[in-house]
Structure 1
Amino acid sequence: MSIALPYPAPLPPSLAFRLPAPVGLTGYRPHPQAEEIEERSDAWAREHLAGLYPSGAALEEFLLRRAAVWPCMSYPSADCEALLLFCQWNQYWFMLDDRSAYDDISTDAQRARRTYGAIRALLRGRGPQAQLPPLLEPLAGLWERMGAGMPTGLRERFTASTEDLLDGFEAEAALRANPDNGVDTLVEARRKASGVWMCTTFAEWGLGIDLSDEFAQPALADAARLAGEQMIYHNEILSFRKEYFSGDTMNLVAAWAGPDLKDLQEAVDRAHTAATHAEVAFVALRERILATPLGRRPGVAAYLAELGHLMAGCLRYEYLVPRYHGLGHIWNGNMSGTVVLTPDRTLFAG
């Protein structure tokens, strides 16, 4: 099964599906200084990302989509300064995600490889650091500050998770150029391009711990994997409107629904079931780990608790933000029921 590229024209004026309620087994807790940290991160973006947008108005539109808020909603116990850095890091990567989906890099596999190769070299400290291209300058400053504060093992795993994200971006560029590679290839690309493995790794740094030794035990790695899968599959549903009406085919719900979207409800149900299974399995595994010597090692219980809040916070963010549901979107609190999608807005009708 190949991926439909582009979507059939003309696009329908609206789409609708029924969204089951999330299972909600992990607790939502925003960071107590969320508002202040988001404001400080936006101030950084105005200073350091302005040159990457064609106008001040374009940058302000990007900020209205609130890329900085989800870490504030997802890491309640994180150190404030570490969380601020991760909010800034997240804004940079959302900017790059937009470029990877909509600029000429999105279908130019060779240009994508060059761009992402330069970023990999920066992360690994290879190549000239003077006179970086404008796209890499903000990242270099962030990485210098972030990397300096990470223990060696954690820094290596965070770097690897960031490289995984780049692998996903590159795989998506290749798929846009050759959609006949099929849905199985898209699943793997989306697992990487989602960036969730950076997010599960940041939870350690935010808490001021390094569980590199503990991650040698498969159970802890499995817990992080399940948390990541829950986030991936919920995101495929709640980001579908943005991607569909903007013409971006890199979405599992779109792929599973088929070229004419006749299986849209089935695709939503499939993604929701996968997210639910991952969350249920995560909670069960967390309880098992906590009852073992691994669970009693310093930092493990706090990390597993933070992963649960990350899952809940990321989901809440995906209902809340204009990034996915259109500028001017104000979420009404409904998390299930009929969802109506238009080119401008999502309506959670309930």
Structure 2
Amino acid sequence: MNDSPGVTPRTRFILPDVRIRLPFEQHPRTAELEEQCARWVHPYLTEYFDGSPLLADRYIRQRIVLWGCVCYPHTKDDRALTLVNTMLPLTLTDDSFSRPGIQGSPDAVIRLRDRYLTTIDHAENGTPDPDTAFTAGRALRESITPLTRQITAPLAQRLWNSLREVIGTAVTEATGHNQDPVTDFATYLTRRRANLYGYVVADLTECALDIDLTRPLATNPELALARDLAIDHMILVNDLYSFAKELSSGETMNAIWIFMRYENLPLQQAIDQLARLITDVESRFTTTRDTLLDSPAGHDPDIRAYLRELGHFFSGNLHFSRLSARFHGDDLTENPIAPGTHTVRTIPTAHDT
């Protein structure tokens, strides 16, 4: 285990029982959308995994589409499939930077980053991309482009730019932060808002609802804070439920690792501190939301709808994080992982056969 203080694949820990007050909902077409998206994305995944339909099937079993259905439960019907079709290509974009031969190699990471940025430029400009062999790039372009045709030009530009930002951070993420290390929690959280696709998925909330809050988000600090708190909750929940997998493989971009490494906390204290932060972020969001709803901005139906959907972002991501094989391994049953005593174990990555 690479630089993970005091943690081995046999380390035991107690997973806290994280409660949430914000309501949970699920898109009424979830089962249909998961099936349709799986059919659409399967050829791309098979090609990406060197012709292996079994690895493609395994990737789909992470149920990333479910994440979209529980985080955007009020997605308009005219874009429901278009929206969820972006879920797996976005995840694949992230995972492609940890592919063997890419991760840990600055030159390879930079080449991959540049391929994505070129693909995004061609997609935004509507010009052909000559890099036809770039499977993950094609999947990203051919999922995002149809969605941008259903949203306003300012929101589409924000979405493309959010993608550029997250891909631009991949160099630091995939090469081990050697040139720009994270040494405190505040810096960590700021950086993760970008490189965990925080602003991308926040933009998708507007896409889902057929609204454009470009101006209100730029001019109303409380509204921007509500968005950032939703992103922060996603980051921290993901850290809680993915840390055992990440620490077992030597990944260090996790709040628990930051607390252990730079605040000298034992593993269990770091876990418990993270759980308290998760609860605190939800409380801060509800306070911010209620303040907004009681203000003049709260009379705007688009802002009210946005705040409601951000609340589902909290509950939906927590629901997904408890039951995805992405965090807990292929042998996870359909039952969510339960609070209580668990053991750190090595969990295969998407590229492990």
Task: Give the TM-score band, short-chain normalised.
Answer: 0.7 to 0.9
TM superposition shift of 1:24: 0.8
SS of equivalent to 2:98: helix
TM superposition shift of 1:331: 5.3
Q: Is the 8 A contact 2:12 2:343 kept in 1?
A: yes
1:199 partner amino acid: V
2:67 maps to 1:70: yes
TM superposition shift of 1:299: 0.8
TM superposition shift of 1:180: 7.8
Question: Following the alignment from structure 1 to structure 2, what is the Cα–Cα distance between the partners of residues 111 and 313?
Answer: 35
TM superposition shift of 1:100: 1.6
Q: Is the 8 A contact 1:25 1:280 kept in 2?
A: no
5+ residue gaps, structure 2: 349-353
Question: Following the alignment from structure 1 to structure 2, what is the Cα–Cα distance between the partners of residues 242 and 59?
Answer: 20
Q: Which residue of 1 aligns with 2:339?
A: 336
Q: Which residue of 2 aligns with 1:175?
A: 176
Distance 1:337-1:157 versus aligned 2 partners, 3 A rule: same
Q: Is the 8 A contact 1:37 1:80 kept in 2?
A: no
Pairwise CA RMSD of aligned residues?
2.6
1:142 partner amino acid: S
Per-residue Cα deviation, 1:108-153 (whole angstroms, up to 9, x for no partner): 2232223223322332346862343323222222232122222012
Q: Which residue of 1 aligns with 2:11?
A: 15
Q: Which residue of 1 aligns with 2:98?
A: 101
Distance 1:131-1:161 versus aligned 2 partners, 3 A rule: closer
One of 120, 123, 127 as aligned partner of 1:123? 120
Question: Following the alignment from structure 1 to structure 2, what is the Cα–Cα distance between the partners of residues 280 and 263?
Answer: 26
Q: Is the 8 A contact 1:237 1:271 kept in 2?
A: yes
Q: What pairs up with 1:189-204 in 2 under 5 angstroms?
A: 189-204=191-206
Q: Is the 8 A contact 1:41 1:84 kept in 2?
A: yes
SS of equivalent to 1:105: coil
Q: Which residue of 2 aligns with 1:348?
A: none
SS of equivalent to 2:343: strand
Q: Is the 8 A contact 1:71 1:83 kept in 2?
A: no
Number of aligned residue pairs: give it: 339
Question: Following the alignment from structure 2 to structure 1, what is the Cα–Cα distance between the partners of residues 271 and 80?
Answer: 32
Q: Is the 8 A contact 2:20 2:315 kept in 1?
A: yes
Give TM-score scaled by structure 1 length.
Answer: 0.87
Q: Is the 8 A contact 2:24 2:316 kept in 1?
A: yes
SS of equivalent to 1:104: coil
2:260 maps to 1:263: no
SS of equivalent to 2:250: coil
One of 312, 315, 325 as aligned partner of 2:315? 312
Q: What pairs up with 1:138-157 in 2 under 5 angstroms?
A: 138-157=139-158
TM superposition shift of 1:315: 0.7
2:109 maps to 1:112: yes
Distance 1:334-1:323 versus aligned 2 partners, 3 A rule: closer
Question: Following the alignment from structure 1 to structure 2, what is the Cα–Cα distance between the partners of residues 90 and 244?
Answer: 25
2:49 maps to 1:48: no
One of 76, 82, 87 as aligned partner of 1:85? 82
Per-residue Cα deviation, 1:16-70 (whole angstroms, up to 9, x for no partner): 3233332412111111111110111111111222210121111111112222221
Q: Which residue of 2 aligns with 1:326?
A: 329
Question: Following the alignment from structure 2 to structure 1, what is the Cα–Cα distance between the partners of residues 133 and 231?
Answer: 32
Question: Following the alignment from structure 2 to structure 1, what is the Cα–Cα distance between the partners of residues 238 and 131?
Answer: 37
2:252 maps to 1:249: yes
- Greater Cα offset, 11-20 or 291-300: 11-20
2:29 maps to 1:30: no
Per-residue Cα deviation, 1:275-306 (whole angstroms, up to 9, x for no partner): 22211111011011001110111311111000
